[in-house]
Amino acid sequence: MKNICVLVSGGGTNLQAIIDAEKSGEIKGGKVTCVISSKADAYALERARLAGIPTAVIPRKDYYSEKMYSEAILEELQKQNADLVVLAGFMTILDECVTKAFPYKIINVHPALIPSFCGEGFYGLRVHKAALDYGVKVSGATVHFVNEKADAGAIILQGTVNVENGETPESLQKKIMENVEWKLLPKAVSLFCEDRIVIRDGKAYVDP
Ligand code: GAR
């Protein structure tokens, strides 16, 4: 059984999707053993508690730099014996001390079709606003491995939704979460736990 540590900062609907998938037996070979939040008041913590999952709060605001914060996160992940780290709405960029310690073992969900509308400064509703300002007709979400560059690691899964006339950042966010994120993130976690993701030439492929 792989130990899955989920990192959160907010509402935790993606965490909930993973918890629900685990409960329904969809995730074979893995178990969420810890939820770590960068904010003490994140509702994701309540979701973890309700599911009986141990939690830790490491507030980003208590650390002077990204590096010092990342070192604290790394220490906790090592203490938890994490086999897989899932960034589920985790709004802090991690320093390479974490990404190098967990190569191809950190998964992130990003609410756009990478390489569009991603990288530093693109998070939450800002992503959807940027996509709508550009006038895209299709958007979606990407589940990818995390490396040293923001949103630049190997893509595992992507899914799309159509953008309708009159769409707002809020309506697009909801549509992408419900139709893509909550399905693809648990699926990628499951594939990882079953050792079905293969890396070749820096790209990720799902073993059929
Ligand atoms: C999700 O839409 C996730 O894709 C996004 O934040 C939301 C978190 O929701 N993540 C990012 O923008 C990271 N760059 P949740 O807390 O309800 O899962």
pLDDT of residue 25: 97
**Residue owning the nearest CA to atom 15 of ligand 1:** 12
**Residue owning the nearest CA to atom 1 of ligand 1:** 89
Q: How many CA within 13 A on the CB side of residue 41?
A: 1
The atom number, within ligand 1, closest to the CA of 176 reads 2
Above pLDDT 90, what percent of the chain? 99
pLDDT of residue 60: 97
pLDDT of residue 208: 77
Per-residue pLDDT in tens (0 to 9) along the chain, 208 residues: 999 999 999 999 999 999 999 999 999 999 999 999 999 999 999 999 999 999 999 999 999 999 999 999 999 999 999 999 999 999 999 999 999 999 999 999 999 999 999 999 999 999 999 999 999 999 999 999 999 999 999 999 999 999 999 999 999 999 999 999 999 999 999 999 999 999 999 999 998 7
**Distance in angstroms (rounded) separating the CA atoms of residues 92 and 129:** 20
Q: Distance from the CA of 202 to the center of ligand 1, in angstroms?
A: 25
Q: pTM of the prediction?
A: 0.97
- State the first-to-last Cα distance of the chain, in angstroms, to the nearest integer: 21
Task: For residue 14, give the nearest of 154, 143, 192 by alpha carbon.
Answer: 143
Residues in contact with 171: Cβ distance below 8 Å, sequence separation at least 6, in sequence order: none
| Residues listed for the chain | 208
Structure tokens belonging to residue 84: 């897989």
Pocket test for ligand 1, best of 37, 94, 109 (most atoms within 8 A of CB): 109
In single-letter form, the type of residue at position 31 comes to K
pLDDT of residue 12: 98
pLDDT of residue 146: 98
CB atoms within 10 A of CB 196: 14
Give the pocket of ligand 1 (CB within 6 Å).
Answer: 10-14, 44, 88-89, 109-111, 123-124, 127, 177, 181
